[in-house]
Copies of this chain bind each other. A is one copy, B any other.
Amino acid sequence: MSQGVEWALHTCLNLTWVDAPAPAGVLAAFYELPPAYLNKQLQALVRAGILTSVPGPRGGFQLARPPETISLLDIVTAIEGPEELLRCDQILTKGPGSHAGVDYRQSCAFAQAMRVADLAWRRELTAKTVADVRADVVRLHPSSPADTRSRIDALR
């Protein structure tokens, strides 16, 4: 799974600590990431309705909605796309009794089993929101909110 997901996850979390928009360069500097490339991931989050962007001075990115309404699956899907973990629908088109136009995701027993597992995975990621993770972080590292806020301000 792509590295960009990890960046997007942590960046969304960082955005929960601040109120003003944060430029992509600041968010990248926080973890020493390549700014232009992180920017591309943030654009995907904007297209997905997770972030909003503000151009101009004092502009940047901010959360588009409350962290309680942003699930981890929202972020994963925004970066990785909606495809399933394992795509198992091609090989049977070459097997015996194959017919063009049939949806092999329906007739392949493996595809169905993999989809069950896929849905279990998505169910967990849907149940966990950015707000949940933020609460976990506060529990583990109580100084995190203030630390992150001041570090982002220092990078502006």
How far, in whole Å, are A33 and B90 apart by their CA atoms in the complex?
12
The stretch among A15-23, A42-50, A61-69, A123-131 that forms the contact with chain B is: A123-131
- Quick check: A91 and B124 within 8 Å, CB to CB? no
User: A5 at the A/B interface (Cβ < 8 Å)?
Assistant: yes
Contact of A7 among B33, B91, B113 (CB under 8 A): B91
Contact of A6 among B88, B112, B116, B117 (CB under 8 A): B88
Within 8 A of B (CB), among A124-155: 124-125, 128, 132-133, 136-137, 140, 147-148, 151
Besides A10-B91, A110-B133, A118-B121, 18 new A-B residue pairs in contact (Cβ under 8 A), listed by A number: A5-B86, A6-B87, A6-B110, A9-B88, A13-B110, A31-B94, A33-B91, A33-B94, A85-B85, A96-B151, A109-B137, A113-B124, A113-B128, A113-B132, A113-B133, A114-B125, A116-B128, A117-B125
B-binding residues in A (CB < 8 A): 1, 3, 5-7, 9-10, 13, 30-33, 72, 76, 85-88, 90-92, 94-97, 107, 109-110, 112-114, 116-118, 120-125, 128, 132-133, 136-137, 140, 147-148, 151
